[in-house]
Amino acid sequence: MDRRVFLASGAVAAWGARPGFGDEVGGKPPRVALIGCGWYGKSDLMRLIQVAPVNIVGLCDADSRMMDEAAEWVARRQPGSKKPRLQKDYRQLLAEKDLDLVIVETPDHWHALQGIAAMEAGADVYLQKPISVDVSEGKALLETARRLKRVVQVGTQRRSTPHLVEALEKVIKPGLLGKISQADIYCYYHMRARGNPADTQPPVGLDYDLWTGPAPMRPFNPMVHPRGWRAFWEYGNGILGDMCIHMLDMVRWMLDLGWPNRVSSTGGIWMDKASKANIPDTQTAVFEFDGMSVTWNHRTWGDAPDPEYPWGATIYGDKGHLKLSVNKYEFFPSGSRKAKLSGAALMEEDKYPEDRTEKDLERNVASAVRAHLRDWLKAVATRGKPVADIEQGHISTAACVLANRSMEVGRTLRYDPVTHTVLGDPEATALLTRAYRGPWKHPGKV
């Protein structure tokens, strides 16, 4: 049975109602590979196993230790299944062109190349956010998805978070906020890596040259890998690219906002100057849309203004305000300090008991990831657009990248997605495309 025919036959709809692997649904389960076997890669793959009878046939990571651990997880969760093929190089994994679905969960500097390669190999893709490190990469991803007619779901799962969907339906759509003209988004986690350890040799099992890929080569430092790479510009977009994108994308989704008209940002390393990390520990960004603004703030030091909302969003209207986070939402009518409506994160541990013991699982967002994956599978079946379609991921990613570029050049930027230029600013336009380390080729230049 042709895989497209199978996926469109209605089998995927049955997957969402059947937790666990091995249910007979008809046809063959889709063949799945994971590129990037670190913390969130394994977590998302395990959620996929929970919601669909998939066949995990490939795992890929430049660090063989992570890849081996992922293989052990798959074996435990899919007993009796054939061991997936293991490849350090994603190009070798994709060469056989036998994959239906590919999940890309590598560090940010790899997302564009691997996402495009997976699409070109014939797969639909679940692409972790941010989709790119520069704006041109995101444009190339979007163009590839549309040209090849691939279904790409971006990992901005706030769009599938049950209690946030409820807030949209119960507060925003009925107009309880009134006229909306401002939103604040923020993160006050102390998440920027600290310390200044000496450079060392890469650990056994890590192909550091391959891990670095198109990014600038710097001496290996244990602060960077694993997970600490987010604290370095070479591999990502700082805390804006990691945390702001979630909340900005959520506000855009809830309020049906497109591209920002103007983006500005200021910030720097104001407090922790001794750390080897080179991203800002303090930053403000303003995204201006028609009739409203969205303002981001992060600090990796000090206290959160509201300890119950250390990472979240507040949407203001003339009839009240709505507070939102990954844990809950609360609607406050104007003049009231008591929430009129509220909701909390959906915990599904009775239905999915493995959530209770899985290593490093963000248990409060597991239901959101499952819903996000179901939405992706439904779009794969119908060949429609998922809720976090690649175009929406491109807009939210690019807006955060532009904020960082605004901070870099010291002025407000007006990006035109049609001409792919920053209006009246050749210097900023040149910064839309980053340099690649050879022999890797930038997809926006090919």
DSSP per residue, 314-352:
EEEETTEEEEEESSEEEEEETT-SS-SEEEEPPP-TTT-
User: How does pLDDT run across 224-243, given as a tens digit for each residue?
Assistant: 999 899 999 999 999 999 99
Confidence band for 20, pLDDT divided at 50, 70 and 90? very low
| The token pair that represents 412 in the structure block | 């407000």
Architecture of domain 162-348+392-430: 2-Layer Sandwich (3.30)
pLDDT of res. 82: 79
Q: Amino acid letter at 116?
A: I
What is the structure's pLDDT at 416? 98
Quote the pTM value: 0.93
Cα 78 to the chain's mean position, in Å? 26
Structure confidence at residue 21 (pLDDT): 29
Task: For tokens 């040799």, name the residue.
Answer: 201
User: What are phi and psi for residue 266, nearest 5 degrees?
Assistant: -135, 160
Mean pLDDT across 189-212: 96
* Dist. CA 93–CA 88, nearest whole Å: 8
Residue 8 has a pLDDT of 37
Closest CA to 247 of 321, 164, 181: 164
pLDDT of residue 83: 84
Q: How far apart are CA 136 and CA 125, in angstroms?
A: 19
202's CB contacts (< 8 A; 6+ apart) are: 208, 220, 225
DSSP string covering 60-108, please?
A: E-SBHHHHHHHHHHHHHHSTTPPPPEEESSHHHHHTT---SEEEE-S-G
Only one residue has tokens 């994994």, namely 93
pLDDT tens sequence across 376-414: 999 999 999 999 999 999 999 999 999 999 999 999 999
167 contacts 159 by C-beta, under 8 angstroms: no
**pLDDT tens profile 290-309:** 999 999 999 999 999 999 99
Beta bridge partners of 284: 266, 297
CATH superfamily of 3-159+367-390: NAD(P)-binding Rossmann-like Domain (3.40.50.720)
Is pLDDT above 50 for 3?
Answer: no
pLDDT digits (tens, 9 = 90+) for 106-141: 999 999 999 999 999 999 999 999 999 999 999 999
pLDDT interval class at 27 (50, 70, 90) = low
Residue 9, pLDDT above cutoff 60: no
Whole-number mean pLDDT of the chain? 93
Give the pLDDT of residue 190: 96
Q: Answer yes or no: is pLDDT of 92 > 70.
A: yes
Region of residue 428 (left: phi > 0; alpha: psi -120 to 50; beta: else): alpha
How many Å apart are CA 268 and CA 201, to the nearest integer?
30
**Domain boundaries defined on the chain:** 3-159+367-390, 162-348+392-430
CA 258 to CA 442: how far, in whole Å? 26
Strand order in the sheet with 31-35: 85-87, 55-60, 31-35, 101-104, 124-127, 152-154
Question: 304-361 pLDDT, tens per residue?
Answer: 999 999 999 999 999 999 999 999 999 999 999 999 999 999 999 999 999 999 999 9
Kindly report the length of the chain: 446
